[in-house]
Structure 1
C-alpha cells in the first residue's frame, strides 16, 4: 500500500474529527483534537508505534503537543526544537509553530479558548495525556464553556492504519545485584512501608523506568532506553505484573524468585479492568496511590475511590543512588571518558591534517566504535548530536543523509552523546574548534564555561530544589544579554533513562522535585546558540555529595557537586581575560583529575594518539 501523503493525513483526520463519537453521541464530532508526544506510560522517548506527532506533522523531537482544528494545525514545543520543528513540518504550509517558553506565546488552553466556537468539544486520547496535563486543560476549557472529552478510539491511529509500525515486545533481562546494589524484594518492602504510612491499599506503577527499577529488570522496547512495556500494581500482599510472562527470559524469572518477589502475571491489556476491580473493592478509608504523572485513563479507572497522588516512592528511591550504583556510575563515566578522549584525538588529527573527510555522521559512528570497546557497553543512551556550525544552533540536531556535512577547521563542532553501560548511563557534551575561533565565539564559550564552573562549585542547603540553582549557570550570559532556551540540568538513571525525573535544574520549576540529596546525579549543561551560525554547550554529570562548611546553620546540612565526567575542556576556545583566578584554578584542578584518572587507561602504542592529546589538552592554564 502506498504511504499516505502529508496533506491527505490531515484531510482524513479532520473527517474523523467531524464524525467522532463523544460521550456516546454519534456524529456530534469534535472541534479540536489534542495530540501529545506521550505513550501510555508518559515516556519521553518513544518506540515507532507511538510517534503520532511525527506521523501527522513530520516533527521528530521528543517534546511537543499538537492541536488540530478544522482549519488550523498548531504545534507547541520548547526552545530545544524551534528551528528543528520549522525545518521538519510536513507539509510546511499546514503547520504553525508555537514557541513554548516565550512571553508572547499563549498556552494551549488559552489558544483553544480564543479560537474555538462557543460550546466546543475538544477530544484527546486519555491514555496519552497525564492527569496533570488533563486537569489543567479541563479546568480552563470548562470555565470558558467548552468541554474536554476522552475519545473512544485514537484518531491518529485510525488515519495511520496498516502503515503504523507494530508495537515492540522484546525480551526482558535481569539486572544483577552486582549492578543494582539492592534486591527487588527489599525495594518492594520499602515501598510497602511507605504505603502503610499513607493508608494506601494499592500502588500503581506506570512509568517504565520505575517498573524496570523496582523489579531489577531491563529491556529494549524503546530505543536507547533499557525499559520494557509493562505495568505493576503493588498491593500490601501481592505484586501484579502486566506483561506477557514469556517475554522474561528464564534468568530474569529466576532472579525475581531469588530476590523474594512473588509475581502474579496478567496480560498487559488487563491493567484497566484490574485497577477498576481494586477501586471497587476499596473500603471507605482505603486509598489507591496513582501519581498525577500517570495517564488520565488510569486515574479514571480509580472511579470514586480515594486517591493518593504524590509521586511514587520509587521515583525518589531511584533518583538517590545507593553505594553500588554510585560506584558503577563513576566507573561507567571513566570508561566513557576514555572513549571520548580517543574520539576527539582521532577527530582532530583527521581534520587538521586533512587525512580523510569526516562528516557529522561518520564522526558519530566512529565515536560509537570507541564506546563499543569499553567494558559493559550496551548501546547509546540517545542518538548522538554531532553538529557543525549552524547545525549546532539546532539544540537537539540529528544529522541525516540530507543534512550531513564535513567536520572542518573552519566552524565550531558540538558533540552531545552518551552511552548505556550495565553499571551506569552517561551523557556528555563538548564543543571544539579545530581552527581559529572568532573573538565572539570565544567570549560565548567562555561565558558558558563560567556558568558551568559556577554551578559545579556552588554549595547549597540539603533538600533545596534544583530550580533555585538555575540562575548560577546563566548569570555570566545574562550579564551581557545572552541566554539559552533549555534547562540547565536533568537527572540521569543508573543504566536507565538518560533523562530521569523527578529532579532537574531549570528556569521552569519541577513540581515533583523532592529536594536535592546526596547520591543524586544531575547534568550541568549551560549553552549558547547563535541561530544559523553556531551552538555551544558544555555538559558534565555531577554527583551530589556532602559539603564541608565552616558552619551548619540549624543543622540543615549543606551539599555540593562532584564531577564524574572526565573529558578535557578545550582551552583554545577560552578568552582567559574573562576568567577569574578561581575559575582558572577550578579548570586546572579538573584537568589534573582528568589526566591522572585516564592516563593509566591509555597506555600502549594503540593509545599513543589519545594519550598525547590528553596530555596536551590538560596543560595548566595561566593568565
Structure 2
C-alpha cells in the first residue's frame, strides 16, 4: 500500500466516524427537545429496531434505520439511544461484524444476546434510567410481542413507554432517505403454487370460523405474497411486495399501490376465485380502526404484527376483541404441498449443477494460480453458473464468500475494501442460495485447497458429525424443533466447542430464504407449531475460530414420514430427506473420528449427488465439472 492510499484510508475512516457521531448528536438533540404529553418533558431513551412496518427480517433501503444510525448492517439487532449511551443488542451471528461496523465504535456498547449476564432491553432500561423516564419508539416498527415485553419492564419500574408516530431517525436522515420501491407485482402461476388463491382464502375462512373471528389481518409480506399467489421485488433477494391483506368471511381487501400491479396479476387473482377490493397502501390503520370501532366482532392478528396495527384493531381496553395467534397462512405456507415439494427439489437439483460447476472451476483456478479468484469475483462467477439454470431469478441472499478469518464472521459480506484472494492455505466458506420460480435454495460448503492443520480437520469433522446426526434423526411428529438442536452440537460439546447461531431455519418456496414459524435452535421458537411432513428446514452446524477461520456445512432437508418398529401412542415418526445435492469435501474429514454409520451416510449421500447431478453435466462444456463430481463422490473408508 502506498503512502497516498494509507493517508486516504485514514481520512475516510475519520470521516465515517465523524459522520456516525454527528448522527447521534442530531438524534439526541431532537429527543431532548421533543414535546411529549402535557409536561413537555423530552425523551430519555429511544428504541430503534431492525424491522419495517411488516416486521420483515430483510429490509428495503428506506427501512434500514438501525443501520443508518449505528453503522451496523446485520439483519438482526435493536439499538437503544439515551443522552449519554448508545447500545446495540444482537445475537451470536453478528458479534464480530457489529464490533467492526458500529460507528463510532467508542460511542457504542455491544450487548451480546444469548450470552450469560446480558440483560434484556426492558430490564436494562428499567435499571439504568432516572426515575419517571420517557422511553419512545415508532409503534409501526415494533411487534406487539416486543412492545408488551418492554412495556411490562418499564411500567414496573415507574417509567413511561410512548408510541410516537414521528420517527426521529427519519428526521435525522432527512431528504437523503430512500423512498418507497415501485417495482411491479407479478403472478406466480398455479404450476408452481399447487393451490389457487381462492383455495387458500377458503382455508383461512375455515380457520376463522373455528376460532370465532370475522376478520383476519395479514401483515407479513411473505404471507401476503403466498396467499395471493403474487410475487414482487420490493426487498432485495426476497420476492415480496409492500401490501396488507384483510380477509373477512365474505370479502378480501388488499392495501397496495395499484400502479405496481400488472394486469396479469389482477387477472390471475380473479381466475383463481378472488375478486378483491383495493385500497391505498397507507390507509390500513384507518380502515382497521374504523372497522374495530364499528363492530364488537373478533379480529385475528398475529402477535408478531406491529403494535400500531394491534392498537388500531382494539388492543388495550378492547384486547378481548383480538385473537393473537400466528395466522393460518403462516403454517399453510410452511407445510409445502406436493407441487411445491417437487418444485423445491427441482430447484435444488439445478442449484447442485451450478455449485458443482463452481467448485470444479474454483479448484482449477486456485491450483493453477494463473488468475487469482477473490471473494467477490468468486461470488460473481457462482451467480453466472446459477443464471445458466432454468427459471433462475437471482440470489436468495447476498453470497457469504469468506476466506480464512473472514469465515469467522458468520454473516460476512465481502466488499472491495475487504476482498481477499481464495488460496490453498486457508479455509474458504461459501454460503449462497438462489431464487428460482420453482423454489428457493440455501447451501453452505467449506473447502480447503491445501493442507489444513490437525485441529482444523478435527473441527471440520465434528461439524460434519453434527450435521449427519441431525439429518439421520428419527423423531415424533409435532415435536418442537429445539428438542433436536443438541444432536447437531453434541460432537462439538464433547470437546468444549460450540457455535453461536441456530441450527435450522425454514425455507420458502420461491419466497423468503428464512421462513418461520418453526426452526431448530438452542432456544425455542415461540410460535413453533411442531415439526410436520412437508416442512423444509436447513441443517447448518458450524464452528468459528475468531480471527482465524470459519466452518459451516448447510443442507436443506424436507421432513418425511418414516417407518419404525413401534409407534408410541400412534404418534407417527418422521425423519429428514436431504434435497441439497453438493458433495462435502471428504478429504478434510478425520475418519478416525467417524462411526461406521457416519461413513455410510456420507457415501450414500455422495452416491445420490452423482446419480442425480451427473446426468445433467454431459457434453464437452461440462467435462471439468463432471470429472470433479466423480472425484468428489468417491466412497471413503477408514
> What range describes the TM-score normalised by the shorter chain of this pair?
over 0.9
- Rounded Cα–Cα distance in structure 2 between residues aligned with 1:92 and 1:479: 36
1-side partners of 2:313 and 2:233: how far apart? 30
Aligned-residue offset at 1:567 = 0.2
- Normalising by structure 1, report the TM-score: 0.98
Q: Counterparts of 1:240 and 1:19 in 2: how far apart (Å)?
A: 41
Q: Match for 2:307 among 296, 302, 323?
A: 296
> Alignment partner for residue 589 of structure 1, among 600, 604, 611?
604
The aligned residue for residue 337 of structure 2 is: 322
Structure 1 segments of 4+ aligned residues over 4 angstroms from their partners: none
| 1:527 and 1:535 in contact (8 A); partners too | yes
- Asked whether the 8 Å contact 2:139–2:165 carries over to 1, the reply is no
* Alpha-carbon separation, structure 2, partners of 1:353 and 1:122: 60
Q: Does 1:244 align with 2:257?
A: yes
In structure 2, C-alpha distance between the alignment counterparts of 1:50 and 1:364, rounded to whole Å: 26
2:425 to 382, 393, 410: 410
Match of 1:78 among 88, 91, 111: 91
TM-score under structure 2 normalisation? 0.96
Tell me the CA shift for residue 563 of structure 1.
0.1
Deviations 1:389-408 (A, max 9, x none): 00000000000000001000
Hey, what does 1:146 align to over in structure 2? 159
Deviation per CA, 1:22-74: give whole Å up to 9, x if none: 3x437311100011000000000001100011111110000000000000000
Q: Are residues 1:463 and 2:478 paired?
A: yes
1:328-371 CA-partner distances (Å, limit 9, x unpaired): 00000000010000000000000011121100000000000000
Given candidates 577, 583, 589, the residue that maps to 1:562 is: 577
- Which of residues 345, 348, 354 is equivalent to 1:333? 348
CA distance in 2 between partners of 1:113 and 1:421 (Å)? 47
CA distance in 2, matches of 1:276, 1:602: 58
Question: CA deviation digits over 1:154-190, x for unaligned, max 9?
Answer: 0000000001111212110000000000000000001
Instruction: Tell me which of 211, 214, 220 is aligned to 1:207.
Output: 220
Do structure 1's residue 541 and structure 2's residue 538 form an aligned pair? no
SS across alignment from 1:5: helix
**Relative to 1, partners in 2 of residues 1:26 and 1:16: Cα closer, same or farther, differing over 3 Å?**
farther
Shift of residue 281 of structure 1?
2.1
C-alpha displacement of 1:271? 0.2
Aligned pair 1:172/2:170, yes or no?
no
Provide the C-alpha distance between the structure 2 equivalents of 1:525 and 1:374, rounded to a whole number of angstroms. 25
Q: Tell me by how many angstroms 1:105 deviates.
A: 1.2
Asked whether the 8 Å contact 1:389–1:534 carries over to 2, the reply is yes
CA separation in 1, counterparts of 2:579 and 2:219? Answer: 31
Unaligned runs of 5+ in 1: none
Q: Which of 599, 603, 607 is matched with 2:614 structurally?
A: 599
SS of match in other structure, 2:528: coil
Residue 181, structure 1, aligned to residue 186, structure 2: no
SS of equivalent to 1:11: helix
What secondary structure is seen at the aligned counterpart in 1 of 2:93?
A: coil
User: What is the alpha-carbon distance in structure 2 between the residues aligned to residue 169 and residue 289 of structure 1?
Assistant: 29
1:160 is matched with 173
Distance 2:121 2:530 in 1: 29
SS of the residue corresponding to residue 200 of structure 1 reads: coil
User: What secondary structure is seen at the aligned counterpart in 1 of 2:366?
Assistant: helix
Deviations 1:380-436 (A, max 9, x none): 000000000000000000000000010000000000000100000000000000000
Correspondence 1:319-468 to 2 at 5 A: 319-468=334-483
* Paired residues for 1:248-267 under 5 Å: 248-267=261-280
CA distance in 2, matches of 1:476, 1:406: 32
The alignment's C-alpha RMSD in Å is 1.0
SS at match of 2:135: strand
**2:29 maps to 1:15:** yes
Give me the whole-angstrom Cα distance separating, in 2, the residues matched to 1:142 and 1:26: 18
Which of 523, 543, 554 aligns to 1:528? It is 543
1-side partners of 2:28 and 2:519: how far apart? Answer: 38
Shift of 1:302: 1.4
- The answer on whether the counterparts of 2:538 and 2:557 sit within 8 Å (CA) in structure 1 is yes
- CA–CA distance in 1 between the matches of 2:295 and 2:40? 37
- Determine the C-alpha separation between the residues in 2 that align with 1:98 and 1:473: 26
Moved more, 108-117 or 287-296: 108-117
* 1:110 CA drift (Å): 1.6
Q: Deviations over 1:309-329 (max 9, x none)?
A: 000000000000000000000
Shift of 1:551: 1.1
Give the Cα–Cα distance (whole angstroms) in 1 for the partners of residues 419 and 25 of structure 2: 33
Q: Measure, in 2, the Cα distance between the counterparts of 1:433 and 1:424.
A: 29
Q: Which residue of 2 aligns with 1:6?
A: 20
Q: Which of 509, 517, 520 is the equivalent residue of 1:505?
A: 520
Once residues 572 and 20 of structure 1 are traced to their aligned partners in structure 2, the CA distance between those partners, rounded to angstroms, is 63
3-state SS, counterpart of residue 80 of structure 1: helix
Instruction: Give the Å deviation of 1:247.
Output: 1.0
Shift of 1:114: 1.9
Q: Distance in 2 between matches of 1:400 and 1:501?
A: 30
Match of 1:578 in 2: 593
Q: Quick check: 1:231 aligned with 2:244? A: yes
Q: Could you say which residue in structure 1 is the equivalent of 2:145?
A: 132
Contact 2:205 2:249 in 1 (8 A): yes
Aligned residue pair count = 619
Q: Which residue of 1 aligns with 2:8?
A: none
